[in-house]
Structure 1
Amino acid sequence: MSTEIPVPRTAVPLGITDPVEKARAELKAALSAIEEKTNVPKRVARATDRGVTAARRFHRENPTGAVAAAAGIAVAAGLVVWGFVRLYTR
């Protein structure tokens, strides 16, 4: 009974002996790697998901700190907007 191990899209499976098949597999893996690297919206979505997960974990472990951090971010954003408006109106 042979069970195949799943191979990532960006990898070349082992055991290919035919040079043409190996070249095709290498090209397919290279193109997949390029697609993964250049797909910015997908990478941003993954980074956002990681950030949301980390923020939720921080909130569960330290609710007071999470509220303080949110308030600090809101104050900083308000100060930045206030500074830009002040510079613009002068």
Structure 2
Amino acid sequence: MASAYAIDPTQPPAGRVSAAAVGESAAVLRLQAIMVTSQSAHVVINGKRLKVGDRIGEVRILAIRPHSILIDREGKREELRLSAPIIQTSRTPS
């Protein structure tokens, strides 16, 4: 008789996650959006809305620019950029 719960052979065993995988996923920052108005600037990183001075893990937001942000990670400055849009508007012939 078959079990009520099927086991997916393509998935890792339940409860097993390597330390390297946990550390790697924590270090990955995905810049998803930049919102700049005349009164404020916010970014969305890994689904969280942040502003200058906020932290996500050990990373601090230093500056928000129209297409990139400046962060401090372990005493080193890094720039994260938004990727180019996939869909571009077509131009009308001149």
> Normalization by structure 2: what TM-score?
0.26
Greater per-residue strand proportion:
2
For CA contacts below 8 A with separation 6 or more, give which structure has more relative contact order.
1
Q: Which is helix-richer, 1 or 2?
A: 1
